[in-house]
């Protein structure tokens, strides 16, 4: 449709029809034989049938057949035939599931993130998804928060910006109406990752400088790269919930960032402003949200049931309503839905594309890039296939390795480690024992009872535990190497999964302790959605491979690395703490006036643990050995309109080709406000042949030195800067230069 036709359409719409475009509900109700709004999620919404057939969009209905059915049912009763918009959470895959976003970011490779994102959205797009609630670009520093697993940039604003751009480009391409593209909804705006205590939905309160310096850049990058939609977060920002925060949505988002797309609330977040205590009732919640600039109300009914009276009373100018409705119509038009209400669905193609062999191969290849080798003493890894291994642990023969946002996944083709190892090594070389559950009954029920899930009962739990343990010890005795597959339960990671103790469970610790007494080499494979406290595990294990929740092809990718077909190259995007009490911990921290550099009593430190992280940001090993030397800078001085180059020699001192992520950090030594001990300003992931040496060069520009100053100006200040180039945030070569 042309723009003027959209204007005409808007003028034809009644107030109720306009408001309907700003309401999003789940789509199950349209799949019912007889529409029943008195049960399920719609019961609480108490929407009339009339309103239902005026809503503008649907949440989490995907699949050609379902979309055709829902769209037909809806349009059959829609006066103006404005098609529904289908939105979904395709977070790390549709039918073929890729590694969780935190893992994808650990590839430090935009191509890896691009391919994981592209295949996911080719599958979901061919099944009719028009808008995807991704990328999640929240900066995260506190591993107690269950949703760190979704953060594509981890604890670093630079990585967040790079990957936000990559994912928007992968989702939207040149034309969002084309097959394989969707409109992207960047989330959660804003600073949701900074919830106090790592407790989900909790308070966020920080200085404007902190917000602008660390939390805003990734959202800005997504918007600059054309994100069509943005989702407001559940949390407050400095005392005002994001969904009613005028400063955040009108000043920063619309005026400063120039965002023209749609603002959608998170699930019932507008109504939740009543619980926050800033709206006295649903009517005020509707008022505050529409005036702040939230266009679509996701799954609460405050817009549907209260906007009309606010407009009739003149409290909300109809122009405000019209602006929001026009933004929805424009997106529907960009997606081509007026001409083709079904989007790119095609039942035949959907069957062919979903979880095709090609997609599985792609998943296997990309997943291997996200695994992080944290320890490899005496080169225990890679294993040989003719070894006899004891594969032990609750993740040894377990398909629950997709992560918490794999709602559309097809689990039929997931192979377990046991199946893959037996294929690679022959069954006689793989002795298997479960060794333990992931959690004991009490712990599982603590999780399941929270959402009213039916709790479980384990008969003779202690007896079973000892039996599992004995079996494990028995097979350990017969093998020369133990591969221990342990980790978090998938329900311990994701939304509403905050943990006050981020260690592995007691039952798994017991298993490891008993196996460590067998004096065998132990390779630990860790399945988890957040940094964990790994001190105990690391001390008792010879090799430690962080695999996160690796997705459909996880077992194959793990085997490819374990047997050396792939040389691991992943690097951490979040610091691993020494103890839970060290959270939040992040590499780009401030020096403080009493840095804990030497062992003095009155320093900024804990008495009972070391001050630095257990595994630092940017850390990850390879089967190759990389040496950094000969750091050179083209000039010790840089001016406003010049740039300098810095180069370093990197040599692969091994007989194995492999990739290394060369990282560039800069520290502003003196400035009008405190500056981090270092900040990532660039990285290059390069392949090195055996014994190959390369010179890696970075350009340093004044732009890279800008920050939010004492007076909240975004500028670079003259003075000395330190450059670090190395394999992670704690090692490398350094030199000084000056901005004059």
Using the minimum distance from each CB to ligand GLC, give the nearer residue, 25 or 547.
Answer: 25
Take residue 33 and report the two structure tokens written for it: 């034989």
Q: For residues 89 and 488, which CB has a smaller minimum distance to ligand GLC in the complex?
A: 89
Query: Contact between 210 and ligand GLC (CB under 6 A)?
Result: no
SS3 at position 660 = strand
Q: State yes or no: residue 94 binds ligand GLC (CB under 6 A).
A: no
Rank residues 89 and 123 by Cβ distance to ligand GLC and give the closer one: 89
Q: How far apart are CB 187 and ligand GLC at their closest, in Å?
A: 6
Task: Tell me how far, at minimum, the Cβ of 740 lies from ligand GLC, in Å.
Answer: 46
Cα–chain center distance at 335: 26
Q: Which is nearer to ligand GLC, 187 or 685 (CB)?
A: 187
Query: Of 53, 201, 267, 623, which lies in the binding site for ligand GLC, with binding defined by CB under 6 A?
Result: 267
Q: Yes or no: say if 336 and 182 are a contact pair by the CB < 8 Å rule.
A: no
In eight-state DSSP terms, residue 146 is: G
Instruction: List the end-to-end C-alpha distance of the chain, in Å, as a whole number.
Output: 55
Preceding omega of 271 cis (within 30 degrees of 0): no
Other C-beta atoms lying within 10 Å of the C-beta of residue 50? 10
Instruction: Please state the closest distance from residue 151 (CB atom) to ligand GLC, in A.
Output: 12
**Cβ-based nearer residue to ligand GLC, 298 or 311:** 298
Beta carbon nearer to ligand GLC, 137 or 543: 137
Give percent helix, percent strand, percent coil of the chain, each to the nearest 5.
35, 20, 45
Rg (the chain; Cα; Å) = 27
Beta carbon nearer to ligand GLC, 13 or 137: 137
How distant is the alpha carbon of residue 465 from its chain centre? 34
For 670, the token pair is 């003196």
Burial 549-581 (b: 16+ CB within 10 A, else e): bbbbbbbbbbbbbbbeebbbbbbbbbbbbbbbe
d(CA 189, CA 505): 33
To ligand GLC, the closest distance from the beta carbon of 38 in angstroms equals 23
Q: Which two tokens stand for residue 98?
A: 């890729």
CA distances from 699 to 61, 251, 633, 682 (A): 47, 34, 10, 9
Q: Under a CB-based contact definition with an 8 Å cutoff, are residues 233 and 191 in contact?
A: yes
**Any idea how long the chain is?**
740
d(CA 539, CA 558): 22
Nearest to 435 by CA among 479, 457, 467: 467
CA distance 485 to 434: 9
Whether the Cβ atoms of residue 138 and residue 191 lie closer than 8 Å to each other = yes
In the bound state with ligand GLC, the residue whose beta carbon lies nearer, of 47 and 372, is 47
The correct pick among 115, 122, 187, 282 for binding ligand GLC (CB under 6 A) is 187
H-helix or E-strand containing 687? strand 679-688
Q: Confirm if 16 and 311 have CB atoms less than 8 A apart.
A: no
Strand partners, 72: none
Measured torsion, CA atoms of residues 210, 214, 220, 222, in degrees rounded to the nearest 10:
-150
Nearer Cβ to ligand GLC, position 230 or 345? 230
- How many whole angstroms separate alpha carbon 100 and alpha carbon 91? 8
Side-chain half-sphere exposure of 618, counting CA atoms within 13 A: 29
Residue number, 89 or 546, with CB nearest to ligand GLC: 89
Catalytic residue among 89, 156, 266, 297: 266
Shortest separation between residue 333's beta carbon and ligand GLC, angstroms: 23
Which is nearer to ligand GLC, 61 or 329 (by Cβ)?
61
How many binding residues for ligand GLC (CB under 6 A)?
6
With b meaning 16 or more CB within 10 Å and e meaning fewer, what string describes 529-547?
Answer: bbbbbbbebbebbbbbbbb
Q: Does 266 bind ligand GLC (CB under 6 A)?
A: yes
DSSP characters over 476-496: HHH-SEEEEEEE--GGGSSTT
For residue 231, the minimal CB distance to ligand GLC (Å) is 6
Q: Which is nearer to ligand GLC, 261 or 393 (CB)?
A: 261
Least distance to ligand GLC, CB of residue 267, Å: 4
Burial of 585 per CB tally in 10 Å (0-12, 13-18, 19+) = buried
Helix (H, G, I), strand (E, B) or coil at 670: coil
Closest CA relative to residue 483, chosen from 394, 396, 367, 374? 396
Distance of CA 22 to the CA centre of its chain: 27
Distance between CA 378 and CA 195 in Å, rounded?
Answer: 41
Residue among 66, 738, 625, 665 at smallest CA distance from 342? 66
Tell me how far, at minimum, the Cβ of 58 lies from ligand GLC, in Å.
12
Q: How far is the CB of 266 from ligand GLC (least distance, A)?
A: 5
Active-site annotation holds for 266: yes
- Report if residue 495 touches ligand GLC, rule: CB under 6 A: yes
* Cβ 451 to ligand GLC shortest distance, Å: 13
Contact with ligand GLC (CB under 6 A) among 98, 133, 211, 626: 133
To ligand GLC, the closest distance from the beta carbon of 299 in angstroms equals 8
Give the strand pairing for 733-739 and 719-726. antiparallel
Tokens of 300: 């609460």
Which of 89, 295, 437, 465 touches ligand GLC by CB under 6 A? 89
C-beta of 42: minimal distance to ligand GLC in Å? Answer: 16
Site for ligand GLC in 708-727 (CB under 6 A): none
Crossing angle of the two packed helices 282-292 and 318-334, in degrees rounded to 10: 70
Task: Tell me whether residue 59 or residue 307 sits nearer to ligand GLC (CB atom).
Answer: 59
CB of 18 to ligand GLC, least distance (A): 24
Active-site positions read 266
**Residue ranges in contact with ligand GLC by CB under 6 A:** 89, 133, 187, 266-267, 495
């Amino acid at each position: 449709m042309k723009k003027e036709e959209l204007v005409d359409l808007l003028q034809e719409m009644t107030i109720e029809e306009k408001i309907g475009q700003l309401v999003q509900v789940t789509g199950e109700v349209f799949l019912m034989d007889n529409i029943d709004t008195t049960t399920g999620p719609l019961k609480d919404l108490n929407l009339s049938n009339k309103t239902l057939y005026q809503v503008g969009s649907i949440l989490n209905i995907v699949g050609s057949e379902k979309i055709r059915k829902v769209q037909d049912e809806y349009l059959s009763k829609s006066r103006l035939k404005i098609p529904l918009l289908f939105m979904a959470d395709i977070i790390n895959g549709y039918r073929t599931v890729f590694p969780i976003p935190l893992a994808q970011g650990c590839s430090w490779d935009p191509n890896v993130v691009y391919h994981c994102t592209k295949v996911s959205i080719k599958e979901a797009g061919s099944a009719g998804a028009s808008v995807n609630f991704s990328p999640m670009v929240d900066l995260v520093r506190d591993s107690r928060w269950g949703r760190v697993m979704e953060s594509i940039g981890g604890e670093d604003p630079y990585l967040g910006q790079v990957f936000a751009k990559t994912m928007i480009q992968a989702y939207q391409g040149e034309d969002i109406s084309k097959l394989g593209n969707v409109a992207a909804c960047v989330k959660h705006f804003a600073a949701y990752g900074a919830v106090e205590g790592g407790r989900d939905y909790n308070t966020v309160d920080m200085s404007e400088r902190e917000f602008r310096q660390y939390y805003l850049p990734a959202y800005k990058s997504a918007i600059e790269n054309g994100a069509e939609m943005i989702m407001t977060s559940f949390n407050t920002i400095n005392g005002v919930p994001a969904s009613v925060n005028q400063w955040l949505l009108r000043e920063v988002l619309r005026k400063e960032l120039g965002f023209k797309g749609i603002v959608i609330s998170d699930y019932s977040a507008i109504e939740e402003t009543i619980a926050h205590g800033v709206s006295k009732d649903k009517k005020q919640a509707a008022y505050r949200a529409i005036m702040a600039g939230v266009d679509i109300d996701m799954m609460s009914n405050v817009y549907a049931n209260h906007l009309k009276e606010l407009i009739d009373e003149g409290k909300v100018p109809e122009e405000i309503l019209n602006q929001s409705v026009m933004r929805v119509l424009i997106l529907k038009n960009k997606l081509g839905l007026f001409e083709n209400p079904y989007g790119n669905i095609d039942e035949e193609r959907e069957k062919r594309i979903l979880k095709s062999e090609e997609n599985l191969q792609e998943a296997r290849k990309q997943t291997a890039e996200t695994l992080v080798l944290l320890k490899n003493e005496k080169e225990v890894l890679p294993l040989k296939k003719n070894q006899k291994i004891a594969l032990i642990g609750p993740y040894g023969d377990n398909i629950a390795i997709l992560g918490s946002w794999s709602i559309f996944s097809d689990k039929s083709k997931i192979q377990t480690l046991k199946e893959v190892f037996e294929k690679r090594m022959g069954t006689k070389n793989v002795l298997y024992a479960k060794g333990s559950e992931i959690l004991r009954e009490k712990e599982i029920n603590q999780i399941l009872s929270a959402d009213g899930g039916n709790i479980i009962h384990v008969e003779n739990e202690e007896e079973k535990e000892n039996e599992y343990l004995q079996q494990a010890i028995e097979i350990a005795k017969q093998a020369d190497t133990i591969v221990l597959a342990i980790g978090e339960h998938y329900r311990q990671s994701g939304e509403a999964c905050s943990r006050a103790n981020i260690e592995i469970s007691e039952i798994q610790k017991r298993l490891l302790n008993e196996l460590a007494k067998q004096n065998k080499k132990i390779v630990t494979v860790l399945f988890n959605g957040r940094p964990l406290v790994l001190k105990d595990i690391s001390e008792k294990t010879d090799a430690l491979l962080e695999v996160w929740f690796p997705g459909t092809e996880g077992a194959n990718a793990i085997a490819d690395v374990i047997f050396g077909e792939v040389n691991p190259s992943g690097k951490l995007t979040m610091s691993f703490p020494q103890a839970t009490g060290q959270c939040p911990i992040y590499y780009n921290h401030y020096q403080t006036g009493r840095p804990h550099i030497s062992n003095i009593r009155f320093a900024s430190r804990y008495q009972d643990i070391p001050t630095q992280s257990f595994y630092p940001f940017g850390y990850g090993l390879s089967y190759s050995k990389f040496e950094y030397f000969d750091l050179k800078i083209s000039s010790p001085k840089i001016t406003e309109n010049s740039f300098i180059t810095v180069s370093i020699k990197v040599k692969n001192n091994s007989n194995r080709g492999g990739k290394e992520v060369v990282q560039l950090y800069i520290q502003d030594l003196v400035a009008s406000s405190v500056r981090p001990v270092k900040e990532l300003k660039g990285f290059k992931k390069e392949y090195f042949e055996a014994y190959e040496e390369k010179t890696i060069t970075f350009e340093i520009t004044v732009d890279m030195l800008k920050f939010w100053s004492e007076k909240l100006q975004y500028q670079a200040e003259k003075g000395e800067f330190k450059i670090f180039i190395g394999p992670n945030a704690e090692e490398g070569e350094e030199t000084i230069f000056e901005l004059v």
